[in-house]
Amino acid sequence: MGWSAVIVAAGASSRAGDGPKKPWRSLGRRPVVAWSLAAMAAAGAERIVLVVAEGDEALAAEAIGGLPGVLVVTGGATRALSVRKGLAALPDDDSASAVLVHDAARPFVRAAHASALLAALPAADGAAPALPVADTLKRIEAGSTVTASREGLFRAQTPQAFGLRTLRAAYAAWSEADGEPTDDAQVVERAGGRVVLLPGDPMLMKLTYPEDFAMAEALAGAQTLTRVAQGFDAHRFGPGDHVTLCGVAIPHDKALAGHSDADAGLHALTDALLGAIGDGDIGQHFPPSDPKWRGADSSVFVRDALERVRQRGGRLVNVDVTLVCERPKIAPHRQAMRERLAALLELPLDAVSVKATTTEQMGFTGRGEGLAAQAVAVVQLPA
């Protein structure tokens, strides 16, 4: 079943305390909403509509990064109006497909949640995750507390899944006299639809109050996989007057021979990034047989590999590049290389290391026939 996702991030965040609104706050060094965007993309959403408050479009673009298939629309004064605008942004030819509506303030959604909800749809008009109420419930009557029964009570969560046609029709039938719906399942229920409840997940917690963010930050580390990958490259010397290493041109009495600019440091780094997500190697994506890449700036390869990492919802943590050569001397250019890599990879300078060593005049590098580079990259991916 084809499906789309509507992620609602247009609220005022009035209970969240000082600071940016919830979707744009940092969580695990990513905006809160970026977690949900990555999860929906990883789960297979054909389209993702991100509904934001007017004026938050630039923040949305930053959170999306290079994630493909995301459309940003402006929301309304209430959650229900924002959902309606998100649904309206989906093409009419998707009317037979499914839609998952999710609150951006629940960052720990996973692909498994989406799969379970979609699997329940053929037998129902909607599906929602829910947790049974475990705490004792109290209400105040005439100044005194009264214990209320929690039997049969559940806490509904998001994402919630519906047929797109079903949810659109239910919202069209909702009347202002019905009040403000608290979730999308209520809208479908009021229209006579059948919504099934699936086992919820405590990790689908909603960030509401300032103290919630400290808890979420502690949990964020448990929601990621850390992968370490390496890359290696070597090039022989040929005629020329400079070599390019880690994006820095270094005067030399020889040049590096290669189909592109032969930047061994960036080539090794490209392979390390691709290795972290199991996505082939530099030769697969940029074959030397393709004249398009003749003389190309190798930063193009690194940017492409980094974009592939981000499309998987990944985050680059740090890189370490080791250059192996007798000449040219690397030390005078090391800082420029680190600064170039930091800018290229959008990393702080202390997350970028460039080192140099020799082989004590042994082997092809020791004989001055060429040089080599090894790179290690640490990437965090959604669990």
Q: Hey, what domains does the chain have and what are their CATH numbers?
A: 3-208 (3.90.550.10), 224-382 (3.30.1330.50)
Inter-CA distances, 205 with 64, 105, 106, 212, 310, Å: 22, 8, 6, 9, 24
Q: Is the peptide bond before 328 cis (omega within 30 degrees of 0)?
A: yes
pLDDT value of position 213: 86
Inter-CA distances, 31 with 22, 63, 69, 146, 213, Å: 9, 6, 18, 41, 12
- The position carrying tokens 């890599």 is 341
Closest CA to 8 of 33, 28, 40: 33
Report residues of the chain scoring pLDDT below 70. Answer: 1, 93-96, 221-223, 383
Neighbours of 298 (CB within 10 A): 27
CA distance 89 to 145: 47
Measured N-to-C along each axis, helices 57-64 and 32-43 cross at an angle, to the nearest 10 degrees, of: 50
pLDDT value of position 218: 81
Tell me which amino acid residue 143 is.
G
CA distance 21 to 24: 6
Closest CA to 273 of 209, 316, 336, 221: 316
H-type alpha helices, 180-320: 184-190, 210-220, 264-276, 282-285, 299-311
pLDDT value of position 259: 83
Question: What pTM was computed for the model?
Answer: 0.67
Closest CA to 256 of 266, 153, 151, 21: 266
pLDDT value of position 92: 79
The answer to whether the CB of 11 falls within 8 A of the CB of 105 is: yes
The token duo for 284 is 């697969």
CA distance 376 to 152: 53
pLDDT value of position 1: 62
Provide, for the chain, the percentages of residues in helix, strand and coil under a 3-state DSSP scheme, each rounded to the nearest 5.
35, 30, 35
The token duo for 323 is 């250059």
The token duo for 269 is 């780094």
pLDDT value of position 177: 81
